[in-house]
A and B are shown apart, each in its own frame.
Chain A
């Protein structure tokens, strides 16, 4: 039996919130600006609301199958073969997210901080870090997430507050950006940005029941929704829509503009600290989830050899992306556009089938 340890609601909540929120430091804000203009800050709240609805189905599914994780539930509801396929799709999706995140991280780091360092060094070191943390186990990861979140929140708040000098309220207008229809459609589609909440369903057995998962899930979605919205708001206030869409990493760029005379300027190292740490936790969380799904699919009890093998896949997959155009414009854009299907639709199908086939325990309510 795979032992992933036990942790509390707070650890799960912060792990999930960091995993979801870390993407705001990459190319996503710029891509969103090119789609909805200056309306991204509230578009993400629509995405969050959609994700909360999606998570409700996940929660209902977990509630119906107490003490089971989503892999076991897929098997129960969909049958052996289809359940295996569903689990496989979810696992591959998470691996794809982990690979794309590292790849995007590498491209952005090279664009701003380490232009000469080869990709394999950046990705290699990152992958080794992920490997070590994965070997230490899920419980360690969750506790590390909770431990580091205080420093990250402090740095995040500091950057947003120091950026006030560059904020211009007029940049929020025209308020509907490129159109309210685009804001809604993309807001719903980009609920994929919150899709990482599915990791709670994969690690369901590490939490003490569905009620705890419910608390952790909703809280992490709301926290990440607010933090992403605040980041996008700060970035919209700092850059007009016509130049915002050009920037590779708007949040980093925002940090570079902070200038309060000779003594308070060049504060981007604070940003780098938050950025690196959150990316590290996010990728590890998602990657560990993939390994966990894989092991559960094939009933492998010892995860360590799989972690080592999979980290090589992680490294190779990340290095293979040819350039930032592929990484940002193509891969990430596709994940955001269609990435809501594996984390939200598969559990929904499973729930419906479970209800039809009368599997699981009946709800008291």
Chain B
């Protein structure tokens, strides 16, 4: 009898569970939003732009594109990805307004990129928008977050897969590319939210832009021998041309929820190095002996920077030691930088250059009183309780901080060549 009763109850449970549930969503009833864009609105407070797959056959979509179709919200042709935009008083109202005009339910569980317009960030309104999003169950804290120069709408319009047909793959790859270049800081929604409320420091975000290729000069006087690192550009200003207009480059610095500054690629690398988030990047160093030539180096972080904070005295003192290692990629001058004494000269040169960049960046941030270097995280170790720490108010003290920087750098490898032999007839042999 017991067994029979248990069996009946079990059957009821199985029937109840396996017949679906209230939260069931058929795959063809929904549309997965991949990118969310947020601008200041005109008809209402916020302008919400959502990009998602059209779920058309990939081949067909491409064929239509090849025939010259223009998608992206105008409804004339259908591409693989499209977008919709609405002005609304809140994110959630906007979502419902859009759902009323889209035959499928928009879901955000696969949203992997949140784009905030620079205007909104500079107006300090980003906090107003982020707090409700964090509460929303469908949006993951691991979603990447960027500030777009111009409008988020324009950014999303230009955001199409460039290589391959999968936008989600492209977004993932682009966001993690910072580990190979150091030209932008990888920040997620959760990172930004944590730093927004932090008593330890201030938030940063990646800057992205649509490059209209106006900085690529087809004609003009040819470049002479002046040295440029290739990293000094701001987002959207890289002198390049091609298919993909989107570029992730530089960093937006915030004071609480207000964007107060923008870093170029070079400064962003310095920021990443200080924060211990720099993994790898190619640096172009001016040849110490032949200033018209360069020595490109493959630089990696040897280990995380060591930060020591001393709070004794009137002003806090920070001893920052940075550890980098490098590999020679090329020696245009063919001088023997592979061995001492030129090897030490090259190392010293690079060490000084990084120190200058790091010091300049720290001074720049001190002027704005924004600790974006996570020094506050280490300073907090000097306090026993949260009350003492919050009373000390690190974010207010940062402008007075004295930072002593030290860079440890060694060239570990010289690529696949141990020395450069002279080219006969072009230069004198040793």
The verdict on B388 contacting chain A, using a C-beta distance below 8 Å, is: yes
Stretch at the interface among B6-14, B76-84, B343-351, B421-429: B6-14
Given that A170-B378, A173-B381, A174-B380 are contacting pairs, would A121 and B22 also be in contact in the complex, using a CB cutoff of 8 Å? yes
In contact, A112 and B137 (Cβ under 8 angstroms):
yes
Residues of A within 8 A of B383 (CB): 173-174
Given that A121-B21, A135-B6 are contacting pairs, would A178 and B378 also be in contact in the complex, using a CB cutoff of 8 Å? no
In contact, A131 and B9 (Cβ under 8 angstroms):
yes
Q: Classify the interface of chain B: helix, strand, loop or mixed.
A: helix
The verdict on B369 contacting chain A, using a C-beta distance below 8 Å, is: no
The verdict on B282 contacting chain A, using a C-beta distance below 8 Å, is: no
Tell me the bound Cα distance from A201 to B397 in angstroms. Answer: 57
In contact, B142 and A136 (Cβ under 8 angstroms):
no
The verdict on B402 contacting chain A, using a C-beta distance below 8 Å, is: no
Given that A125-B17, A135-B2, A259-B142 are contacting pairs, would A116 and B198 also be in contact in the complex, using a CB cutoff of 8 Å? no
Residues of A within 8 A of B22 (CB): 114, 116-118, 121
The verdict on A262 contacting chain B, using a C-beta distance below 8 Å, is: yes
In contact, A176 and B385 (Cβ under 8 angstroms):
yes
Residues of A within 8 A of B197 (CB): 240, 242-243
The verdict on B395 contacting chain A, using a C-beta distance below 8 Å, is: no
In the assembled complex, how far is the CB of residue B404 from the closest CB belonging to chain A, in whole angstroms?
Answer: 20
Given that A115-B23, A116-B22 are contacting pairs, would A176 and B384 also be in contact in the complex, using a CB cutoff of 8 Å? yes
Given that A242-B197, A259-B142 are contacting pairs, would A178 and B380 also be in contact in the complex, using a CB cutoff of 8 Å? no
Tell me the bound Cα distance from A230 to B420 in angstroms. Answer: 55
In the assembled complex, how far is the CB of residue A238 from the closest CB belonging to chain B, in whole angstroms?
Answer: 9
Tell me the bound Cα distance from A112 to B198 in angstroms. Answer: 25
A-B CB pair tally, cutoff 8 Å: 96
In contact, B172 and A261 (Cβ under 8 angstroms):
yes
Tell me the bound Cα distance from A256 to B110 in angstroms. Answer: 12
In contact, B13 and A128 (Cβ under 8 angstroms):
yes
Tell me the bound Cα distance from A114 to B138 in angstroms. Answer: 11
The verdict on B387 contacting chain A, using a C-beta distance below 8 Å, is: yes
In the assembled complex, how far is the CB of residue B320 from the closest CB belonging to chain A, in whole angstroms?
Answer: 15
Tell me the bound Cα distance from A81 to B389 in angstroms. Answer: 55
In contact, B137 and A174 (Cβ under 8 angstroms):
no
In contact, A257 and B200 (Cβ under 8 angstroms):
no
Residues of B within 8 A of A116 (CB): 22-23
In contact, A174 and B389 (Cβ under 8 angstroms):
yes
List the A residue with the shortest CB-CB distance to B376. Answer: A170
Given that A179-B387, A242-B199, A243-B197 are contacting pairs, would A114 and B141 also be in contact in the complex, using a CB cutoff of 8 Å? no
Tell me the bound Cα distance from A116 to B87 in angstroms. Answer: 27
The verdict on A360 contacting chain B, using a C-beta distance below 8 Å, is: no
In contact, B380 and A243 (Cβ under 8 angstroms):
no
The verdict on B386 contacting chain A, using a C-beta distance below 8 Å, is: yes
In the assembled complex, how far is the CB of residue B8 from the closest CB belonging to chain A, in whole angstroms?
Answer: 10
In contact, B194 and A239 (Cβ under 8 angstroms):
yes
The verdict on A317 contacting chain B, using a C-beta distance below 8 Å, is: no
Contact with A along B149-164 (1 / 0, CB 8 A): 0000000000000000
Tell me the bound Cα distance from A135 to B387 in angstroms. Answer: 52
Residues of A within 8 A of B223 (CB): none
Contact residues, A203-249 vs B (CB, 8 A): 239-243
Give 4 A-B pairs besides A116-B23, A174-B383 with Cβ atoms closer than 8 angstroms.
Answer: A37-B386, A114-B22, A128-B12, A240-B198
A-B contact pairs, 22 of them (CB 8 A): A114-B21, A114-B23, A115-B137, A118-B22, A121-B21, A128-B13, A132-B9, A132-B13, A135-B2, A170-B381, A173-B383, A174-B383, A174-B389, A176-B384, A178-B387, A243-B194, A243-B197, A253-B141, A257-B188, A258-B142, A262-B169, A262-B172
- A interface, CB within 8 angstroms of B: 37-38, 111-118, 121, 125, 128-129, 131-132, 135-136, 168, 170-171, 173-180, 239-243, 253, 256-259, 261-262, 265
